[in-house]
Amino acid sequence: MADSVFQMALKQLDEVAKKINLDPNIHNVLRQPERELTVSVPVEMDDGRIEVFTGHRVQYSSVRGPCKGGIRYHQDVTLDEVKALAAWMTWKCAVVNIPYGGAKGGVKCDPFKMSTQEVRRLTRRYTVMIMPIIGGRRDIPAPDVNTGADTMGWIMDTVSMFEGRTVMDIVTGKPIELGGSLGRREATGRGVMISTIQLLNKLGKNPKDTTVIVQGFGNVGSVAAELLSQNGCKIVAVSDVTGGFYNSNGLDIPDMLKYVETSENHLLEGYKKGGTEKISNEELLFSDADVLIPAALENQITEKNADKIKAKYIIEGANGPTTPEADKILGHKGSIVVPDVLANSGGVVVSYFEWVQDIQAFFWDVDQVNESLEKIIVKSFDEVWSISQDKKVDMRMAAYMIAVRRVASALKQRGIFP
């Protein structure tokens, strides 16, 4: 049987522990989430029947600060997946050195088969069920797969109703009018773009001579595609769950963005433009380009397909898109992978800015947000790159070495209670 996603996350941690001679006691602590909560979420559906959904919230580590992590609504959500994502959030916050621990939440449901009212009732009930463990100084949720600013607004309102006051710092990724931050929606995709440009700079390559494939045209993939094309890169292929599109001369990204604004479920299905051919998601992964950005779901690049990937540089927009076995195959081929914990950390960095703005009730303009984001990602990229060069390890190992050391050091300094 294939390893579970959480086993994959632990495997990565165990490899790093060996590399940095991690104290076995600390390693032991870091292999377990601090807290796992599974809740049942009964929801009255529009037709009057009651459906019971299962929700989870996992707090992996709070040694460096309040836990932080998104909430996803997806039919494949499992506790195992949520634990893995919470672990990755712990390392991600540590890589970019923001004062957070890692958490993640999810509800097993298919939001595309539900009305807005049903999703809202689900969100409010799930919020109440996890309320005992979340809070602006404890655990701050954010959007993830199939959740967005409106979902965060409902969570914030639900907690505010219970507390009898407006609680802005309970979630990030909220609508601007409810204490959200400018630049937050584009932040993850912008971080992917900055990471890509940084890598090209290190390798002495010109963005104008660079071809890019983007798998996933949701919030992350579409923004990364848009910003990279503005930086001169040629986006030759993109895809979403309905399939992909390829054009060796470069796709018209602004046109595609305009199309998904009004299309059903904001998907690419039905998009047409001369010179653009339809391809499958699999063909997309194997297309010819310099850079591949997997920005869909986890486990997309595996030992079964890694050797067919032609792109030399892989910038992980999604969480966990590459399995450890695939990593080894890509390494042997000489590919460079910029890992998720660095490449897609823009979202959590700007979530941190949003939280700071909420606490201070003092809001920044978008230039300040984007400049501060760029500063943090460039600095973190440089740190990871230099360790990867010095220690002759790949960038994922370098990022994990930095992250695990930071978390381990905080744990050591705090000691074990009591």
Query: What positions carry a catalytic annotation?
Result: 104
Which CA distances in Å does 142 have to 119, 156, 237?
16, 11, 29
Angle CA 42–70–121, to nearest 5: 25
Round to the nearest angstrom and report the end-to-end CA distance of the chain. Answer: 40
H or E element at residue 314: strand 313-315
CA distance 418 to 414: 11
Tell me the torsion sign for CA atoms 67, 70, 71, 77: negative
SS3 category, 279: strand
Contact (Cβ atoms closer than 8 angstroms) between residue 210 and residue 234: yes
| CA 79 centroid distance within chain | 17
Tokens encoding 383: 């740190």
Cis peptide before 143, with omega less than 30 degrees from 0? no
Nearest C-alpha neighbor of 347 from the set 318, 380, 367: 318
Contact (Cβ atoms closer than 8 angstroms) between residue 58 and residue 139: no
Q: How many residues does the chain have?
A: 418
SS3 category, 8: helix
Contact (Cβ atoms closer than 8 angstroms) between residue 154 and residue 117: no
H or E element at residue 234: strand 234-240
Tokens encoding 271: 């998009």
- Which DSSP string do the residues of 20-75 spell out, in sequence order? TT--HHHHHHHTS-SEEEEEEEEEE-TTS-EEEEEEEEEEEE-TTSSEEEEEEEET
Nearest C-alpha neighbor of 321 from the set 332, 333, 309: 309
Q: What's at 118, amino acid-wise?
A: E
Nearest C-alpha neighbor of 319 from the set 135, 114, 142: 142
Contact (Cβ atoms closer than 8 angstroms) between residue 368 and residue 162: no
